[in-house]
Amino acid sequence: MYEIHVSVDDEIQKTIERRTGAFVRAHDWNLMTGAKSYYWELDGTNLAHEYGLNLVSYDVGAPVPLIRTIDVPGRPGKLDATLALNGRVNYISRPVSAVFHIRNNPYEDYHQILSRLLRRFNGTESRLEFSTDPRRYYKGRFLITPQKNGEVSSYITFSCEDAFPYKLEFEDIIVSVTDSKTVNLRGADYNGEIYIDMETGAAMTATFHEISVDLAAGTNLVREFHLADGLNELQFTGSGQVRIRYERGIL
C-alpha cells in the first residue's frame, strides 16, 4: 500500500492572498514558496492546473487475488485450484483513492468547480496518473465525494474500490516495413490485446511464435498473439507502415 501526505502552511497561503488581493491556486503558491508539487491527472487533465485541486493524500491498495478452493468429500482441508486457470495467480481489482484540498475565493467558485468535476469524471471510466510515476496509470470508475470545510475551504475525494488490478502503461509503436522487419515488443505481468493498424502499403503478414496472421487495411485486433514478460519478437513480412498498440501492466 502506498501513501503520501502533502501539507501546506495555511499562514503562507493567507499572506499571499492578503498581499496580492487575489486567490492563488495550489500549483502557483507551491512554485512561489518552493514547496514540492504533487498532482494527479485524470485522462490527461492536470487537476491542479485545471481545477485548483491540491493533493493532500492518496492511497493505492494491494490487488485482490482470486483464490479458488474446492471442497472434496473425504479429503482433509480444501483443494487449492488458484493456479488451475492459467498456472498463475489472477487478480480481481484494487482500491484507489485520492483526497484533494481546494480554497475558493469567491465562494461561488466551489459550486462551479464541483459541478464541472461531477459532470466530467463522476462515474466515468478514467485513467488516473500520478506525477511521481509518469506514463503509468490506474484505470477504473471513480466516484467523487465532496466535503465542505468552511466558507472558502473544502475537500474532494476521488475513489474507486474496484479499479483494474494492474498499474498500466500504454505502448504505441509506429514501424516502417520494407520486405520484412523484426520488432521487439516489451511484455509485463499483464499484457492486453494487441491492435495493429495497417496505415499504408499493401497486405502484410505478422508472425509471432510460428503463428501467422494476415493483416488487412485499417485496424486489426490480433487475439492470436499472447506476449510474455520481457522482450517478444514480432516479425512483419510485406511493405508499408504499421502501428502497434497495446497495454501492459505491473502490480
User: Does residue 206 contact residue 222 with C-beta atoms inside 8 Å?
Assistant: yes
Q: Spell out the long-range contacts of 110-117 with Cβ–Cβ below 8 A and sequence spacing 24 or more.
A: 110/148, 110/152, 110/154, 113/51, 113/52, 114/146, 114/156, 116/51, 117/51, 117/144, 117/156
The answer to whether domain 2-63+91-165 has CATH 2.40.30 is yes
Which pLDDT score, from 0 to 100, does residue 206 have? 94
SS3 labels along 133-183: CCCEEEEEECEEEEEECCCCEEEEEEEEEEECCCEEEEEEEEEEEEEEEEE
The structural domains of the chain, with segments of one domain joined by +, span 2-63+91-165, 168-250
Q: Which three cell numbers stand for residue 146?
A: 465532496
Which pLDDT score, from 0 to 100, does residue 194 have? 93
Give one DSSP letter per residue of 94-140, joined into a string.
Answer: EEEEEEEEEE-SSTHHHHHHHHHHHHHHTTSEEEEEETTSTTEEEEE
Which pLDDT score, from 0 to 100, does residue 31 have? 42
The CATH classification of domain 168-250, taken from the options 2.60.40.10, 3.30.450.20, 2.60.120.770, 3.40.50.1220: 2.60.120.770
Q: pTM score, two decimals?
A: 0.75
pLDDT tens, N- to C-terminus, the chain (251 residues): 443 333 444 444 444 344 333 333 444 434 443 444 566 888 889 988 888 888 888 899 999 999 998 888 888 888 888 888 778 899 999 999 999 988 765 566 788 888 999 999 999 999 999 888 888 999 999 999 998 776 667 899 999 999 999 999 999 999 999 999 999 999 999 999 999 998 766 678 999 999 999 998 889 999 999 999 999 999 999 988 999 999 999 99
